[in-house]
């Protein structure tokens, strides 16, 4: 299925999301952000999906936010319609119930790196470049580049990209922990599918729980992981069944402390 500028396909237990604006090196605009949100909902709704892959069409993964999309916005519009809206979409993808692999088939710069950064695993082709060039335009990273990326890659690495304007090769990014694996040119998606197979072979419930636990341990969530885990546990108890039954039958609940 295609949701505007994002294509979604399912292969076995893997969901493959492809950002599709190749003529602009998959630069992100408001329509693409909306399409990413729709794609995330589609992946969540597919109970057969155990892992997801995010990649780009053509020669680029994503060149970041399209300057033409935000350059003319008023400051308040930029803050709300662009930055905060983008944050909500990125958080939606970061908190998918299934592990997410970013297959970096091309450069991931600015918002493109922030998009890749929300994945659980990153696989990069050897020819790509990675960086946060925003300050060279008088702008700052706005979609968690100074927040999530610091938690995941470390503050010093982000300083080098955001303050020093350093652009890293795929191999340099692997050495710095920005990407997990480097593959040959044109092979990122296949390598991601192979890794996805490893993930999909493991227990789906355990994968979902571990992803929530890691998010909590790394300080990336606002307590939602703890509440999600607690709710899943409560939903399996005999007490909940009794509570629902008593409500339906209009009688006092007789709880027994049953797990």
The single residue of 114, 125, 208, 220 carrying the catalytic annotation is: 114
Distance CA 162, CA 140 (A): 8
Distance CA 65, CA 47 (A): 32
CB 21 within 8 A of CB 59: no
**Pairing verdict, β 129-131 and 168-169:** antiparallel
Q: Is 134 a catalytic residue?
A: yes
Neighbours of 29 (CB within 10 A): 17
The single residue of 57, 91, 125, 134 carrying the catalytic annotation is: 134
| Rounded (5°) CA angle 17-20-21 | 155
Distance CA 83, CA 70 (A): 10
Q: Is 114 a catalytic residue?
A: yes
- The rounded Cα 125 to chain-centroid distance in angstroms is 19
CB 124 within 8 A of CB 130: yes
Burial, 8: exposed, middle or buried (Cβ in 10 Å; 0-12, 13-18, 19+)?
buried
Q: Which residues are catalytic?
A: 114, 134
């Amino acid at each position: 299925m295609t949701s505007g500028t994002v294509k979604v396909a399912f292969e076995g237990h893997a969901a493959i999301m492809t950002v599709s604006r190749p003529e602009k090196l998959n630069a992100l605009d408001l329509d693409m952000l909306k399409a990413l949100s729709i794609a995330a909902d589609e992946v969540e709704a597919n109970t057969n999906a155990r892992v997801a892959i995010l990649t780009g069409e053509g020669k680029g993964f994503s060149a970041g936010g399209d300057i033409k999309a935000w350059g003319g916005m008023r400051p308040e519009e930029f803050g709300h319609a662009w930055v905060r809206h983008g944050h909500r979409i990125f958080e939606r993808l970061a908190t998918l119930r299934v592990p997410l692999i970013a297959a970096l088939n091309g450069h991931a710069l600015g918002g493109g790196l922030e998009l890749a950064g929300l994945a659980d695993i990153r696989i990069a082709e050897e020819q790509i470049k990675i960086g946060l060039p925003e300050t060279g335009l008088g702008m700052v990273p706005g979609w968690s580049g100074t927040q999530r990326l610091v938690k995941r890659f470390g503050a010093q690495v982000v300083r080098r990209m955001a303050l020093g304007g350093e652009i890293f090769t795929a191999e340099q990014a692997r050495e710095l922990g920005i990407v997990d694996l480097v593959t040959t040119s044109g092979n990122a998606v296949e390598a991601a599918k192979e890794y996805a197979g490893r993930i999909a072979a493991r227990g789906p419930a355990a994968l979902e729980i571990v992803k929530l636990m890691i998010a909590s341990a790394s300080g990336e969530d606002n307590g939602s992981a703890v509440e999600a885990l607690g709710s899943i546990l409560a939903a399996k108890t005999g007490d909940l069944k009794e509570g629902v039954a008593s409500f339906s039958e209009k009688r006092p609940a007789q709880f027994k402390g049953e797990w």
